Structure 1
């Protein structure tokens, strides 16, 4: 008889977490996979499905499901947390993951640079909010993923016309960001991954500039414009920055993206992503598989939860 799982993995995308599940199975760690799009819960049931819950809910799930579970997950995790579950990347992390406006505010509060950004909740306010910003700019949805809901406008007239025609992006929470478009040095952005508040690795993603979808995982690559992915080293100051951002965001696992502004050489952070499904072909790109370190961390959390129960 297999031991009862002490770990539940809540996820939505059917392909993204196969590498994680493979490592858990190879290392003999019992786990319960929970597809959130097929899930419901009873408010009278106080027992969580496992002592440790690992949240892998994707902000891009609204692209695949009209009845997505982004907001449902927050109610679910609150219920389980009240019942004593230890939730990795739970509601404190989701509060940041579900809002690019909160992400920019958090990064600014830590003293790090971001693109100049303004926030609105009505489409008709976009042109007024854009005044004083440098064009080109982008309008972004507050809850996005895989580059969805990001549109570039090259002039105030172009943006004003799009507003009049009703063609600007729409966020599922009715919050939009107006943000200066940053010309990046060498058309390159950097994604740094952290685990337990510590820097794990970084990759450079270079594109032809025609896509905002820079998801580096295997399942993201099908049908997208060519992206060159290479391992990159970070200086000590940038490592300190990404670690500080991940801890302030309450994300035990996250990817933090930044670019170098070719106009002035400044480093500008623009995204905090709580769903780290890691780089495609990690052995080829990195020389090692970060899923091993992730499962090491899960084992540590499981041991701590077990010790807490014994106490």
Structure 2
């Protein structure tokens, strides 16, 4: 029997998808990339293969899960299997440099960025870069390496400290700081390559913006769980009713051109109304509190899309 194969490395993030697939009676199999092997002499099974590999896998002890996933997707695609979020999508997930250059090809503005290998090159780049600026990891997730600096001296001190951490691929990004007058960013969710909804995210507590309910942040105080207290004046995540933007058409073209079926794309708007797109997440998650309030449910839509893909795979070829 044909089924959906979930390719991933995070059981917590995948649990809501499995629940949704069960609710729609979609057969599936779990392929965890924490370890494994591929026999290249064998043909892969028939089915639909959904890649949910994350750029932050190394923070959960799965350092080489993306590399194994790349090998698995190569094997699948060489045998003509239907892969959703394919090898190109995975490459973009693992490199913000690749994301930005791909976005630019579709007329999408990204923040000015320098990619540096080594502390000396990072500091050298900062001396000619307008302040304030931020740093971030090239292969990241969960806001890894994101810090704001108002002066080069502050960066120099930071890189000399023991707690300074480099990106797992060695490349640190120096990036234009874009200030939102409302202290928010917008995340657009796409399912089946088409816009589903946009969510407004309150960034006043920090940069870690994963919308998952089970968000693993090292300090144990993830601001993205949707948990609110009486002192909160607005929700951390809020789905925007009737959201419209000229970016949507560009985003959909970008996704179609890069083999991306499911994604969340984030942008920030400055005081002049200029938008900067700074992150594409192909391992997208959804915030349950925001969805309950709006009555829109991403994982349910993902499950339905996978069910339709599976049905099309099983349809007899018409001559």
TM over 0.5: yes
**Does structure 2 retain, via aligned residues, the 8 Å contact 1:185–1:259?**
no
Aligned to 2:283: 275
* Structure 1 residues 1-311: aligned runs within 5 Å: 4-45=1-42, 47-65=43-61, 67-165=63-161, 168-208=164-204, 210-220=205-215, 223-225=221-223, 228-232=236-240, 233-262=242-271, 264-281=272-289, 283-307=291-315
Unaligned runs of 5+ in 2: 227-235
Judging changes above 3 Å, is the alpha-carbon distance between structure 1 residues 239 and 158 closer, same or farther for their aligned structure 2 residues? same
Once the two structures are TM-superposed, the CA of residue 105 in structure 1 deviates from its matched residue by: 1.4
- 1:100-155 CA-to-partner distances (Å, cap 9, x unmatched) read 01111122232222211111223211122224432121111111011112222221
CA RMSD of superposed structures (Å): 2.2
Once the two structures are TM-superposed, the CA of residue 308 in structure 1 deviates from its matched residue by: 7.2
Judging changes above 3 Å, is the alpha-carbon distance between structure 1 residues 282 and 305 closer, same or farther for their aligned structure 2 residues? farther
Once the two structures are TM-superposed, the CA of residue 167 in structure 1 deviates from its matched residue by: 5.3
- 74-83 vs 35-44, which deviates more? 35-44
- Give distance in 1, aligned partners of 2:312 and 2:142: 34
**Does structure 2 retain, via aligned residues, the 8 Å contact 1:194–1:242?**
no
Once the two structures are TM-superposed, the CA of residue 309 in structure 1 deviates from its matched residue by: 7.0
**Does structure 2 retain, via aligned residues, the 8 Å contact 1:282–1:289?**
no
**Does structure 1 retain, via aligned residues, the 8 Å contact 2:239–2:291?**
no
Judging changes above 3 Å, is the alpha-carbon distance between structure 1 residues 250 and 66 closer, same or farther for their aligned structure 2 residues? closer
- Give distance in 1, aligned partners of 2:195 and 2:129: 33
- Give distance in 1, aligned partners of 2:180 and 2:15: 33
- Equivalent residue pairs, number: 305
Judging changes above 3 Å, is the alpha-carbon distance between structure 1 residues 225 and 27 closer, same or farther for their aligned structure 2 residues? closer
Aligned to 2:231: none
Once the two structures are TM-superposed, the CA of residue 165 in structure 1 deviates from its matched residue by: 4.6
- Which has the bigger relative contact order, CA under 8 A and spacing at least 6? 2
- Give distance in 2, aligned partners of 1:288 and 1:76: 33
Q: TM-score, normalised by structure 2?
A: 0.87
- 1:224-277 CA-to-partner distances (Å, cap 9, x unmatched) read 136611111432413223323322332110000001112x32111100110112
Local SS of the residue matching 2:306:
helix
